[in-house]
Amino acid sequence: MKVLVTGCNGHLGTALTELLVASGHQVRGSMRGISGEKKTAPLRKLGVELVEADVLDAAALERACVDMEVVFHLAAVFRFVVDDPQKDLIDPAVKGAEYALRAAKKAGVRRVVMTSSSVAIGHKHLDRPLDERDWNDGATNPYAQAKTLAERKAWEVAKELSLDLVCINPVGILGPGFARHTPMTLNIVNMIDGKLPVVPPFVSTYVDNRDAAKAHLLAAENPKASGRYLVANEALTMIELAQRLKAVWPDSKPPTSVLPRWMFPFARFFDWVMHKTRGVPRQLSADVIDEFGDPLVRYSAARATAELGWKPRPFDETLKETAEWIVKTRPPAW
């Protein structure tokens, strides 16, 4: 296939690009700042054609889609706390999705596979695991709002244009191969370095970036693929994650205590102070606690398993290789 990967230099984008090249497909990657040698060197070594395209530049996306058979739309901002949610998160996600789909239709692309997220499905438990039937229309965190609104817009535009769209909804992504930290990998490096003395009583579900990439490829290759596919592996509390990390990476210095809920206001204030005084990326806010604080939430990847033949690797393998990558390359914060 001749394929376009938007956001090809991100954590998931890099894994997908490597998988596509290894699978024999002809890959064009779009990103911002292709003149940066350090940023693009790994992709150029793969023989990928790189083009400059901001997701808010409709004309650039149209040029990037020319002659493509499949478009993988991955480009998005991944932060939980930002200064201007509309400008920094919602506009790039929603307008970017619309522009990418309209560009794909104009170019005659046969299918678009778009990266959504489990946050568009929700993070509040039901009497069953959450799955593709669920939508997070009551999201309070700006990132969750952006991903939900973007996927809603994508389905709206796809219907309008009669465009073949498939969405992949991964949970929190770990795994090696990233050039900069994400909110998920930042927790791991802080646990390795002993910079996270306590953790909140949150639960997160994880998936390997390479397994999430595989789901995208399966969705592109299977003519019967349709709708949404949630991809998820293990669900762990943060203290369980710390214990598993210690087991696979003995040199790590993970936390051993859980932050009581009554201390959340103090933790939020400390998070804000560290950001203002040391430039540490913010991770904790009132809406983050509200959005992701449910300790009972679980997800089901049964549809992806049954219809795509998708299967994740053992989580300890993912965790060990994430730690190994961090220690070896020491990526900067975003």
Residue 132 confidence class, pLDDT cut points 50, 70, 90: very high
Instruction: Decide if 274 is inside a domain.
Output: no
Residue 127: give its domain's CATH number. 3.40.50.720
Q: What is the mean pLDDT of residues 118-122?
A: 98
Look at residue 84 and tell me whether its pLDDT is greater than 90.
yes
Instruction: Quickly state the pLDDT bin for 268 (edges 50, 70, 90).
Output: confident
Name the more confident of 83 and 146. Answer: 146
Is residue 104, in this structure, part of any structural domain at all?
Answer: yes
Q: Does residue 265 belong to any structural domain of this protein?
A: no
Tens digits of per-residue pLDDT, 210-229? 999 999 999 999 999 999 99
Looking only at Cα atoms, what is the longest distance across the chain? 56
Q: Which residues pair with 30 in a beta bridge?
A: 6, 51
Domain count for the chain, please give it. Answer: 1
- pLDDT, average across residues 106-116: 98
- Provide the b/e sequence for 305-332 (b: ≥16 CB within 10 Å): eebbebebeebeebbbbbbebbeeeebe
pLDDT score recorded for residue 280: 72
Name, of 120-129, 195-204, 286-295, the range with top average pLDDT.
Answer: 120-129
- Domain-located, residue 167: yes
Q: Which of 29-38, 43-52, 100-109, 233-242 has the lowest mean pLDDT?
A: 29-38
- When pLDDT is averaged across residues 311-325 and rounded to a whole number, the result is 98
Per-residue pLDDT band for 261 (boundaries 50, 70, 90) equals confident
Q: Give the domain extent around 145.
A: 2-173+208-233+298-312
* pLDDT on residue 138: 95
Percent of the chain with pLDDT over 90: 86
Q: Residue 36 CA to chain centroid, in angstroms?
A: 23
Say which residue, 275 or 93, is predicted with more confidence: 93
Element (H, E) at 158: helix 142-161
In the predicted model, is pLDDT for residue 334 greater than 70?
no
**Could you tell me the pLDDT band of residue 247, with boundaries at 50, 70 and 90?**
very high
Q: Is the dihedral of CA 92, 95, 98, 102 positive or negative?
A: negative
The answer to whether residue 240 is domain-embedded is no
Torsion angle defined by CA atoms of residues 126, 131, 136 and 139, in that order, rounded to the nearest 10 degrees:
70
The answer to whether position 87 is within a domain reads yes
Instruction: Find the catalytic residue in 38, 147, 214, 328.
Output: 147
pLDDT band at residue 144 using 50, 70 and 90 as cut-offs: very high
CB atoms within 10 A of CB 81: 22
The model's pTM is 0.95
- pLDDT tens per residue across span 168-195: 999 999 999 999 999 999 999 999 999 8
Contact 4, 30 (CB under 8 A): yes
37-45 vs 11-22: helix crossing angle, rounded to 10: 30
Residue 256 included in any domain: no
The answer to whether residue 320 is catalytic is no
pLDDT digits (tens, 9 = 90+) for 17-66: 999 999 999 999 999 988 878 788 889 999 999 999 999 999 999 999 99
For residue 15, what pLDDT band results from cuts at 50, 70 and 90?
A: very high
Q: pLDDT band at residue 282, thresholds of 50, 70 and 90?
A: confident
Spatial CB neighbours of 81, under 8 Å, sequence gap ≥ 6:
142, 281, 282, 283, 284, 285, 288
% the chain with pLDDT above 70:
100
Structural domain includes residue 169 = yes
